[in-house]
């Protein structure tokens, strides 16, 4: 159970004064639904409100805090909404105007009674030779001056919540905190000059200068280390628990694998052969396997997965492969089916759209053991799916699944070995953070015959030239992807929408243009993809898509990839998209189109992609330039959500936390010492509750 000392922190935000159900819903959207989520919502900039001049000495363009006497109110004439509400204020040196657009008279008369003294704070402006302040940030009585003349932290916001509301909520949240038992070794605190958890938390929310916002600020480093230590301690406990679990020895005679290898049109790379050997060794041991297989685009992970699954089948058991989308599951099925037939084994596909009659036959075949291999989506771990003897589960694109889903599939058999695959190369630092409980194999070589992809960056103002190049490629028989970041036009973000782009391209190239996006029904997507793959009398040669085609889609005839507003994508995601072409014998091209106002950092990122085909190097650069939070594109349920640590800046802290976690468990495996009990509090503080079940009570 969660320690009692943490109860106030895990209460709902409605426990804080001034936050009712409506605001609570907005805070949930902004940062989370509990008090501790609000505490982890750190400031991103500061406003220095300590400048307190007299009116005549106030510098235009600066934020100033002034003590003034309220003069006359001038309401806009009639109902003219274009005219602002004006209030004159003065001191012994002069006067200035306060300007309020759409100002409510009743509110302003109450906030600024004529003749009263008020402290106002905001940006001073010069207008028509006079000083004014538009919509002051603060209007308070003189008795509250000390609450305004500060270096004010500025927080990320969401529509409906103001900066002042967040500041007040955080003051109330901090009032609910107390000092917690110290879980960091005192020698580390002394060496690095770190304060206690409570003092560090208060310091982060009261920055004295912009320097205090940096990742290397001592208070931020201390809290980042707390989060990383909780993460690495949980990972180490998971790993220790897994090693305590007895596995089932799974060994095969190699007969089925030999048939598949004979049927392959290519030889395995050295990396593939080594990965299969490592996996076979894991499966033959007394411990359960939990191995991560990382591979760059086109490195041949699916073949390694199939050979791994055949070890289970050779041993008289079954294997399952789970993919995050129907498109990817279907792709795996089509790739594996002819090889499974060559090996003489039965294979099935289960998705949410499998018809009832076929599903019933499939379930019977899995339960009886007649079907050896199952490929599917999350439909695989539904309660009515039962295996006679599941020995191996392969999870593709693990970061798109939650840990719970992975464990649910593993529970379909006894001591099921687990192979987790990702086609998104992950930097070493992030691998340590995300998958530290797993053994790792990397595929860095491309199969023979793979050509490098000619990658170019082009200004979107040259769109007519791109249309011309696309037309010439189509005339030469090319298949082309055109990727857009949005499905429909957004008023807020002026980006190309897939629907609008498909319509525009359709006017030039007619019925040869197809559209695929995540909001389409599965049948519609499949129909378009089949036309693009050439399985139709009405082929699609130019496929406009969102990032639904990012992973796993394999059309060997596709040789051109156009990515619109490439500057809005992560490098790892761009590399994945580029990997959809270059799969056949013909030369392939990737065009990265960028929009107006592209930043220097964005240019540098696109240059890295243009100059390199190495997904692991690209991933390292992506981490350096963007930080860990976005490295895999959209945050997914399987990722630990680091709120305080920035893995690009805190890589040294992560390594230190890993070493510390190992040492802690070596000395105190059940966290029973004084420090161990403090570390239990740490685990609950960062919601690593699940691993607490591995500890003896105490």
Tokens 């509110």 map to which residue?
107
Please give the DSSP secondary-structure letter assigned to residue 18: T
pLDDT > 80? residue 648: no
For residue 20 the two structure tokens come to 């009712």
Weakest mean pLDDT among 26-35, 333-342, 407-416, 567-576: 407-416
The widest CA-to-CA distance across the chain, in whole angstroms, is 97
Q: Which residue has the higher pLDDT, 438 or 95?
A: 95
Give the pLDDT band of residue 640 (cuts 50, 70, 90). Answer: very low
Give the pLDDT band of residue 583 (cuts 50, 70, 90). Answer: confident
**Residue 281 CA, distance from chain mean position:** 33
The pLDDT score that the predictor gives to residue 504 is 93
Q: Mean per-residue pLDDT for 65-81?
A: 89
pLDDT > 70? residue 394: yes
Contact by Cβ (8 Å): 373, 286: no
Q: Mean per-residue pLDDT for 408-418?
A: 79
Contact by Cβ (8 Å): 469, 480: no
Q: Mean per-residue pLDDT for 276-291?
A: 92
Which regions of 136-210 does DSSP assign to beta strands (E)?
A: 138-141, 151-154
Q: What is the pTM of this model?
A: 0.67
For residue 623 the two structure tokens come to 């981490």
Concatenated DSSP letters of 349-367? EE-TT--HHHHHHHHHHHH
480 φ, ψ (degrees, to nearest 5)? -130, 135
Question: Cα dist. 421→241, 338, 394, 398 in Å?
Answer: 22, 22, 7, 6
Q: Which residue has the higher pLDDT, 495 or 216?
A: 216
The pLDDT score that the predictor gives to residue 399 is 55
Residues 6+ apart with CB under 8 A from 576: 297, 423, 424, 550, 551
The pLDDT score that the predictor gives to residue 630 is 46
Give the pLDDT band of residue 638 (cuts 50, 70, 90). Answer: very low
> What is the DSSP pairing of strand 94-100 with strand 130-134?
parallel
The pLDDT score that the predictor gives to residue 404 is 53
The pLDDT score that the predictor gives to residue 339 is 95
Q: What is the pLDDT of residues 212-223, one digit of tens each?
A: 999 999 999 999
For residue 90 the two structure tokens come to 């003065």
Q: What is the pLDDT of residues 466-492, one digit of tens each?
A: 999 999 999 999 999 999 886 555 544
For residue 204 the two structure tokens come to 């982060």
Helix (H) or strand (E) holding 143: none
The pLDDT score that the predictor gives to residue 635 is 37
Tokens 């959500």 map to which residue?
641
> What is the DSSP pairing of strand 45-48 with strand 151-154?
antiparallel
Q: What is the pLDDT of residues 122-151, one digit of tens each?
A: 999 999 999 999 999 999 999 999 999 999
pLDDT > 70? residue 398: no
Average pLDDT of the chain, as a whole number: 87
Residues 6+ apart with CB under 8 A from 578: 297, 453, 455, 561, 563, 590, 609
Helix runs in 384-521, H state only? 403-410, 428-435, 463-475, 498-509
Euclidean distance between CA atoms 380 and 322, whole angstroms: 7
Q: What is the pLDDT of residues 252-263, one digit of tens each?
A: 999 999 999 999
Euclidean distance between CA atoms 273 and 280, whole angstroms: 11
Concatenated DSSP letters of 493-538? S---BHHHHHHHHHHHHGGGEEEE-TTS-HHHHHHHHHHHHT-SSS
pLDDT > 90? residue 563: yes
Weakest mean pLDDT among 149-153, 363-367, 478-482, 569-573: 569-573
Q: What is the pLDDT of residues 539-559, one digit of tens each?
A: 899 999 887 665 446 787 899
The pLDDT score that the predictor gives to residue 4 is 95
Give the pLDDT band of residue 241 (cuts 50, 70, 90). Answer: confident
Weakest mean pLDDT among 273-287, 463-477, 558-572: 558-572
Contact by Cβ (8 Å): 250, 312: yes
Contact by Cβ (8 Å): 12, 24: yes
What percent of the chain stands above pLDDT 90? 59
Weakest mean pLDDT among 53-67, 91-105, 424-438: 424-438
Count CA atoms within 13 Å of residue 442 on its CB side.
11
Helix runs in 176-315, H state only? 186-192, 197-204, 218-244, 255-263, 270-284, 301-314
> What is the DSSP pairing of strand 130-134 with strand 117-127?
antiparallel
Helices (H) and strands (E) counted in the chain, each on its own, are: 24, 21
pLDDT > 80? residue 693: no
Domains in the chain, start-ordered, CATH in brackets? Answer: 50-149 (2.40.50.140), 255-443 (3.40.50.300), 454-630 (3.40.50.300)
The pLDDT score that the predictor gives to residue 432 is 67
User: 349 pairs with which residues across the strands?
Assistant: 375
For 523, counting Cβ atoms within 10 Å of its Cβ (0-12 exposed, 13-18 middle, 19+ buried), the class is exposed
What percent of the chain stands above pLDDT 70? 90
pLDDT > 80? residue 493: no
Weakest mean pLDDT among 77-91, 198-212, 629-643: 629-643
Contact by Cβ (8 Å): 406, 438: no
């Amino acid at each position: 159970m969660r320690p009692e000392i943490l109860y106030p922190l895990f209460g709902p935000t409605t426990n804080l004064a001034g936050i009712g159900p409506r605001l609570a819903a907005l805070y949930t959207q902004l940062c989370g639904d509990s008090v501790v989520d609000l505490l982890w919502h750190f400031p991103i900039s500061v406003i220095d409100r300590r400048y307190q001049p007299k009116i005549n000495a106030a510098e235009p363009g600066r934020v100033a805090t002034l003590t003034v006497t309220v003069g006359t109110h001038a309401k806009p004439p009639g109902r003219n909404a274009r005219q602002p509400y004006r209030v004159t204020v003065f001191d012994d040196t002069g006067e200035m105007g306060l300007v309020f657009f759409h100002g409510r008279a009743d509110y302003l008369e109450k906030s600024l009674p004529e003749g009263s003294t008020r402290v106002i704070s905001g940006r001073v402006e010069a207008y028509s030779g006079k000083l004014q302040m538009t919509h002051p940030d603060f209007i308070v009585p003189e008795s509250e001056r000390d609450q305004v003349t500060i270096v004010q932290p500025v927080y990320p916001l969401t529509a409906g919540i103001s900066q002042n509301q967040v500041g007040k909520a955080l003051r109330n949240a901090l009032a609910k905190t107390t000092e917690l038992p110290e879980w960091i070794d005192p020698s580390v605190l002394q060496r690095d000059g770190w304060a206690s958890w409570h003092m560090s938390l208060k310091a982060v929310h009261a920055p004295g200068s912009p320097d205090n916002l940096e990742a290397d600020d001592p208070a931020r480093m201390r809290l980042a280390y707390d989060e990383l230590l909780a993460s690495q301690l949980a990972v180490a406990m998971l790993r220790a628990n897994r090693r305590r679990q007895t596995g089932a020895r799974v060994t095969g005679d190699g007969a089925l694998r030999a048939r598949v290898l004979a049927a392959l049109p290519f030889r395995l790379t050295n990396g593939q052969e080594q990965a299969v050997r490592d996996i076979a060794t894991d499966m033959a041991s007394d411990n359960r396997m939990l191995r991560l297989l990382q591979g760059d685009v086109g490195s041949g992970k699916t073949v390694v997965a199939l050979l791994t699954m055949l070890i289970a089948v050779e041993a008289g058991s079954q294997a399952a492969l789970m993919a995050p989308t129907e498109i990817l599951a279907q792709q795996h099925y089509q790739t594996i089916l002819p090889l499974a037939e060559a090996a003489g084994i039965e294979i099935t596909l289960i998705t949410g759209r499998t018809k009832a009659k076929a599903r019933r036959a499939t379930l019977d075949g899995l339960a009886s053991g007649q079907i050896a291999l199952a490929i599917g989506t999350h439909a695989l771990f539904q309660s009515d799916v039962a295996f006679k003897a599941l020995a191996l589960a392969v999870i593709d694109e693990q970061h798109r699944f939650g840990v719970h889903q992975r464990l649910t599939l593993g529970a379909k058999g006894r001591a099921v070995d687990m192979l987790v695959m990702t086609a998104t190369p992950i930097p070493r630092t992030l691998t340590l953070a995300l998958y530290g409980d797993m053994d790792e194999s990397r595929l860095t070589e491309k199969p023979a015959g793979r050509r490098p992809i000619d990658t170019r960056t082009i200004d979107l103002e040259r769109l007519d030239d791109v249309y011309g190049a696309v037309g010439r490629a189509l005339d030469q028989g090319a298949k082309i992807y055109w990727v857009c970041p949005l499905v429909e036009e957004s008023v807020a973000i002026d980006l190309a929408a897939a629907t609008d782009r498909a319509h525009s391209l359709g006017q030039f190239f007619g019925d040869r243009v197809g559209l695929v996006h995540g909001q389409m029904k599965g049948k519609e997507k499949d129909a378009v993809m089949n036309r693009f793959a050439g399985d139709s009398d009405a082929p699609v040669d130019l496929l406009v898509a969102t990032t639904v085609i990012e992973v796993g889609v394999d059309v060997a005839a596709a040789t051109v990839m156009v990515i619109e507003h490439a500057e809005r994508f992560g490098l790892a995601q761009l590399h994945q998209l580029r990997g959809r072409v270059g799969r056949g014998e013909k030369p392939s091209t990737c065009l990265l189109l960028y929009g107006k106002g592209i930043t220097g950092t964005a240019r540098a990122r696109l240059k890295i992609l243009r100059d390199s085909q190495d997904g692991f190097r690209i991933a390292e650069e992506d981490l350096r330039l963007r930080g860990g939070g976005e490295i895999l594109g959209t945050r997914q349920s399987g990722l630990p959500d680091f709120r305080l640590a920035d893995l690009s800046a805190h890589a040294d802290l992560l390594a230190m936390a890993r070493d510390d976690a190992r040492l802690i468990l070596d000395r105190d495996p059940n966290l029973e010492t004084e420090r161990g009990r403090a570390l239990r509090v740490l685990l609950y503080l960062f919601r690593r509750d699940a691993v607490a079940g591995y500890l003896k009570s105490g």
